[in-house]
Amino acid sequence: MDLNDKYEKLREGLNQLGSWPGVHMFKFIITADNKKIALLISKFSAEAVITQKESVNGKYISITVREVMIDADSIIDRYKELETIEGVISL
């Protein structure tokens, strides 16, 4: 599956969920690198609710972000923007 298929399936799923705007939950795993974590967090608004949890061995951080999004395309754009950060895994 290429990225376009991946995002088209995501768009279809998001549009079936309900009406917009709405709160979307983003989940990521990233290496425990303060610079990368700060960069990821900086991509979200000040109103976003962000929680972090360190892995047992401390090598990774799980980041959950809840933010009001306008539509499915704005969510997909955010995922595409975050793909540019090395080592970020989107769940």
Domain tally, the chain: 1
- The parent domain of residue 47 ranges over 3-90
CA 40 from centre of chain: 9
Instruction: Give 2's pLDDT tier (boundaries 50, 70, 90).
Output: low
Q: How many H helices and E strands in the chain?
A: 3, 4
Beta strands per DSSP E along 1-91: 22-31, 49-54, 60-69, 89-90
Contact, 23 vs 71, CB < 8 A?
Answer: no
| CATH value at residue 30 | 3.30.70.2040
Per-residue pLDDT of 24-71, as tens digits, reads 999 999 999 999 999 999 999 999 999 999 999 999 999 999 999 999
